[in-house]
């Protein structure tokens, strides 16, 4: 049953907390609202606990949509001009504005009579919820929750919460709905018994086990994201991948880990929830890329590049949440492992040990302390699917301009094995990079028209004497590590001084037309590599990587050895190190010696595509920077 009849195609997605099914066209609008408004999940390609999926299907088939469109069912509203969009209406602005009014503003839900004491109304609704969850009427309970009933309401006379009542009655779907709305599976009743205790005592073993899973949903999902496994909860509640032990952590990373451990419990929980939301965003992005017709549906407008703003959070926390998108797969995996390790330590009541540090109450969470630099644009608003392509492209460039070096560390096979599940499927990555290259090609054609007729300057260097020689950069990064590179970046460059701060164009930069021509060659070679990956022609990896290496070297030689702009420096370094890393990975596809371990071509393809993606990103940044500077 379609939740909104203006959807043009079958609903492949669902909003879990709203109990409705949604189509691809409306999916990105829902996602741009944020998980605090609409919790989006794919019906077939996302992982589902059976009872949660059954809960959503039951709500959708029993008219949950009418809860959110209550006033629109009144014939008088139609006469007044208020109506739902038609299938022929455009997504933006018609359908998107309706979706926001419906789910964010709750403009059409049933309005209760006003009372002097709002607390009494909420208490009455919560008492009704407390009573209703013993039945199988899910839509009744969803209606009460939509009106303001509290899922964690503690009944003063009965000494229990609604979840205790649902657990005792064996209402597993009601329990799922309550947990979605924030009910605590570990909350005690007046005698200290949890909902799990109620379920076990009533013989509802399956429900009891599900409630345990709900209690550890956050850490379970983080672990599954990294290694594809969840704990069985009978022999322990945590799985902590060991990738961190193989990393050569910089002093900065070690200091960040200590600061994470020193956070008080409230701030640590906030950080863990924000990382959970980022995992959800990345997983949904991967599913979207896997399931769409990329020649027609995938555009920049369908992207949700970072976590949407939650108005209930402080501006500092919202900015920190959005900056989580800047972590590459390796860094994000390391942060998750630190969180899992510290969650286990905190639950077991272990101290911080050898250092003797203790929690510091009242401290504010500073994402820069956790390894995220704050030398870039802070997001005042979130990019949504309503933004134009050019606006979103510009914003994304601003968001990543000074952070491109996050991806330039050497990534070994062992590390990638550990974060295998954190990467999207190879086909999804191929499609994503195809999309990036298509968009880049369009941008290049547009820029060529703008700079047509500009004379070409002389080259500033060669591929042999450039500071950005790919092999040299890769070897240096292996031997020195990221921390020394970051320290070196803090030293003033000769004749540099940070350039561009006064708003003057950088005269040392090459002309835009030259950069565009070299970028086109890089893009063409990347597309050739991607075609080989799609067709499983692994023997073509090495020659393709050599062509990309050569094109990257030529592009880097256009720029000065010591660029004045930090953004140029970072982009060139990402370009060089990614091309070098690509060569190393592609060589693994060559025929191995007899007796050598078999090559995991699926994993290798993921590595190759990730390197190619970083090259395309760096090239796009250089085009954008050069164009912007030359226009000043």
3-state secondary structure of 303: coil
> In the predicted model, is pLDDT for residue 600 greater than 90?
no
pLDDT at 450: 52
Backbone angles phi, psi at 600, to 5 degrees: -85, 95
- Please classify residue 502 by burial: count the beta carbons closer than 10 Å to its beta carbon, then call 0-12 exposed, 13-18 middle and 19+ buried: exposed
> In the predicted model, is pLDDT for residue 500 greater than 80?
no
Tell me the average pLDDT across 509-528.
Answer: 87
CA angle, residues 164, 168, 174, in degrees to nearest 5: 70
Task: Give dist(CA 186, CA 370) in Å, integer.
Answer: 30
> In the predicted model, is pLDDT for residue 273 greater than 90?
yes
Task: Give dist(CA 21, CA 64) in Å, integer.
Answer: 10
Alpha carbon 233 to chain centroid, angstroms:
27
Q: What is the mean pLDDT of the chain?
A: 76
Tell me the average pLDDT across 55-59.
Answer: 97
> In the predicted model, is pLDDT for residue 290 greater than 50?
yes
pLDDT at 268: 95
Task: Give dist(CA 420, CA 599) in Å, integer.
Answer: 15
pLDDT at 118: 53
pLDDT at 276: 98
DSSP state of 238: -
Q: What does the DSSP assignment read for 52-101?
A: HHHHHHHHHHTTTHHHHTGGGGSHHHHHTT--PPPTTS-IIIIIHHHHII
CA angle, residues 224, 47, 18, in degrees to nearest 5: 120
Model confidence at 147, pLDDT cuts 50, 70, 90, reads very high
Alpha carbon 324 to chain centroid, angstroms:
8
Task: Give dist(CA 554, CA 463) in Å, integer.
Answer: 6
**What separation in angstroms does the CA of 521 have from each of 225, 283, 622?**
36, 32, 14
> In the predicted model, is pLDDT for residue 186 greater than 50?
yes
Tell me the average pLDDT across 418-446.
Answer: 52
**Weakest mean pLDDT among 45-59, 164-178, 369-383, 513-527:** 369-383
Percentage of the chain with pLDDT > 70? 68
- Is there a contact between 604 and 589 (Cβ–Cβ < 8 Å)? yes
> Which residue stretches of 171-314 are H helix?
172-180, 195-201, 205-215, 217-227, 251-262, 265-291
* Tokens read off for 344: 């286990």
Tell me the average pLDDT across 259-279.
Answer: 94
CA angle, residues 287, 378, 258, in degrees to nearest 5: 80
pLDDT at 444: 57
**Residues, the chain, total?**
632
**Weakest mean pLDDT among 88-97, 116-125, 431-440:** 431-440
Tell me the average pLDDT across 43-59.
Answer: 95
Task: Give dist(CA 503, CA 517) in Å, integer.
Answer: 26
Does 90 or 464 have the greater pLDDT score?
90
pLDDT at 632: 63
pLDDT at 114: 61
Greatest mean pLDDT among 96-110, 534-548, 592-606 lies in: 96-110
Percentage of the chain with pLDDT > 90? 41
> In the predicted model, is pLDDT for residue 439 greater than 70?
no
Tell me the average pLDDT across 304-310.
Answer: 91
* Tokens read off for 504: 């003057």
> In the predicted model, is pLDDT for residue 466 greater than 70?
no
Does 345 or 88 have the greater pLDDT score?
345
> Residue 471, CB half-sphere, CA atoms under 13 Å: how many?
6
* Tokens read off for 629: 């500077």
Model confidence at 431, pLDDT cuts 50, 70, 90, reads low
Model confidence at 38, pLDDT cuts 50, 70, 90, reads very high
pLDDT at 219: 96
Tell me the average pLDDT across 365-375.
Answer: 47
Task: Give dist(CA 138, CA 300) in Å, integer.
Answer: 37
What does the pLDDT look like over 544-598, one tens digit per residue?
Answer: 999 999 999 999 999 988 888 888 888 898 899 889 989 988 988 887 777 777 7
- Is there a contact between 166 and 158 (Cβ–Cβ < 8 Å)? no
**Weakest mean pLDDT among 2-16, 218-232, 381-395:** 381-395
What does the pLDDT look like over 12-27, one tens digit per residue?
Answer: 999 999 999 998 888 9
Q: What is the value of pTM for the model shown?
A: 0.61
**Weakest mean pLDDT among 383-392, 466-475, 490-499, 599-608:** 466-475
* Tokens read off for 350: 């272990």
Longest pairwise C-alpha distance within the chain: 84
What sign does the dihedral 486-488-490-494 (CA atoms) show?
Answer: negative
Percentages of the chain per state (helix, strand, coil), in multiples of 5: 60, 0, 40
* Tokens read off for 175: 């329990």
CA angle, residues 400, 404, 406, in degrees to nearest 5: 115
Structure-token match 């370009």, residue found: 575
> In the predicted model, is pLDDT for residue 232 greater than 50?
yes
> In the predicted model, is pLDDT for residue 518 greater than 60?
yes
> Residue 361, CB half-sphere, CA atoms under 13 Å: how many?
0
Task: Report all structural domains of the chain as residue ranges with CATH numbers, in order of start.
Answer: 11-45+68-102 (1.10.220.150), 117-225 (1.25.40.20), 249-345 (no CATH), 510-590+597-628 (1.20.120.330)
> In the predicted model, is pLDDT for residue 224 greater than 80?
yes
> In the predicted model, is pLDDT for residue 357 greater than 80?
no
Task: Give dist(CA 220, CA 214) in Å, integer.
Answer: 9
Greatest mean pLDDT among 116-120, 169-173, 435-439 lies in: 169-173
The side-by-side arrangement of strands in the sheet containing 40-42 is: 20-22, 13-15, 40-42
């Amino acid at each position: 049953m379609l939740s909104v009849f203006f959807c043009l195609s079958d609903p492949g997605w669902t909003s879990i907390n709203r109990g409705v099914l949604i189509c691809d066209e409306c999916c990105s609008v829902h996602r741009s609202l944020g998980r605090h408004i609409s919790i989006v999940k794919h019906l077939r390609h996302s992982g589902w606990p059976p009872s949660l999926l059954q809960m959503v299907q039951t709500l959708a088939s029993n008219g949950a949509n009418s809860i959110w469109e209550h006033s629109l069912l009144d014939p008088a509203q139609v006469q007044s001009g208020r109506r739902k969009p038609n299938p022929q209406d455009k997504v933006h602005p018609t359908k998107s504005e309706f979706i926001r009014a419906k789910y964010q503003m709750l403009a059409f839900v049933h309005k209760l009579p006003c009372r002097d004491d709002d607390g009494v109304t909420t208490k009455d609704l919560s008492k009704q919820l407390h009573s209703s969850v013993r039945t199988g009427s899910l839509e009744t309970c969803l209606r009460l929750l939509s009106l303001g009933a509290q899922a964690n309401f503690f009944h003063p006379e009965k000494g229990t919460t609604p979840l205790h009542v649902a657990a005792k009655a064996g209402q597993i779907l009601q329990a799922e709905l309550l947990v979605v709305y924030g009910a605590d599976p570990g909350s005690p009743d007046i005698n200290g018994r949890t909902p799990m205790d109620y379920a076990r005592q009533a013989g509802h073993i399956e429900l009891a086990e599900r409630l345990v899973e709900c209690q550890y949903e956050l850490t379970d999902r983080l672990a599954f994201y990294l290694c594809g496994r969840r704990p069985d909860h009978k022999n322990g509640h945590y799985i902590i991948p060991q990738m961190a032990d193989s990393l050569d952590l910089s002093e900065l990373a070690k200091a960040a880990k200590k600061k994470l451990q020193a956070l008080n419990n409230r701030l640590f929980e906030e950080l863990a929830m924000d990382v959970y939301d980022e995992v959800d965003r990345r997983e949904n992005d991967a599913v979207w890329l896997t399931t769409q017709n990329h020649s027609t549906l995938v555009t920049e407008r369908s992207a949700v590049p970072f976590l949407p703003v939650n108005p209930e959070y402080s501006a500092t926390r919202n900015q920190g949440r959005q900056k989580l998108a800047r972590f590459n797969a390796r860094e994000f995996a390391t942060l998750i492992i630190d969180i899992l390790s510290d969650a286990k330590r905190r639950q077991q009541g272990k101290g911080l040990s050898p250092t003797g540090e203790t929690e510091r109450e009242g401290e504010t969470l500073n994402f820069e302390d956790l390894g995220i630099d704050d030398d870039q644009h802070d997001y005042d608003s979130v990019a949504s699917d309503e933004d134009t392509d050019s606006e979103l492209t510009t914003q994304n460039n601003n968001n990543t301009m000074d952070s491109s070096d996050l991806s330039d560390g050497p990534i070994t096979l062992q590390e990638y094995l550990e974060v295998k599940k954190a990467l999207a499927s190879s086909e999804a990555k191929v499609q994503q990079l195809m999309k990036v290259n298509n968009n880049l090609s369009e941008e290049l054609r547009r820029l060529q028209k703008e700079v047509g007729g500009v004379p070409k300057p002389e080259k500033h260097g060669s591929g042999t004497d450039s500071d950005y020689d790919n092999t040299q950069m890769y070897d240096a990064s292996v031997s020195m590590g990221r921390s020394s590179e970051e320290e070196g970046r803090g030293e003033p460059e000769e004749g540099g001084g940070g350039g561009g701060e006064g708003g003057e164009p950088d005269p040392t930069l090459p002309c835009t037309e030259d950069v565009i021509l070299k970028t086109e060659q890089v893009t063409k070679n990347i597309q050739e590599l991607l075609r080989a990956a799609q067709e499983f022609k692994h023997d073509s990896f090495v020659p393709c990587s050599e062509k990309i290496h050569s094109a990257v070297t030529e592009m880097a030689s256009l720029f000065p050895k010591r660029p004045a702009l930090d953004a140029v420096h970072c982009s060139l370094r990402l370009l060089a190190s990614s091309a070098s890393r690509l060569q190393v990975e592609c060589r693994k596809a060559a025929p191995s010696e007899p007796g050598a371990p078999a090559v995991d071509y699926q994993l290798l393809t993921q590595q190759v595509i990730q390197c190619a993606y970083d090259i395309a990103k760096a090239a796009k940044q250089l085009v954008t920077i050069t164009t912007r500077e030359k226009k000043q």
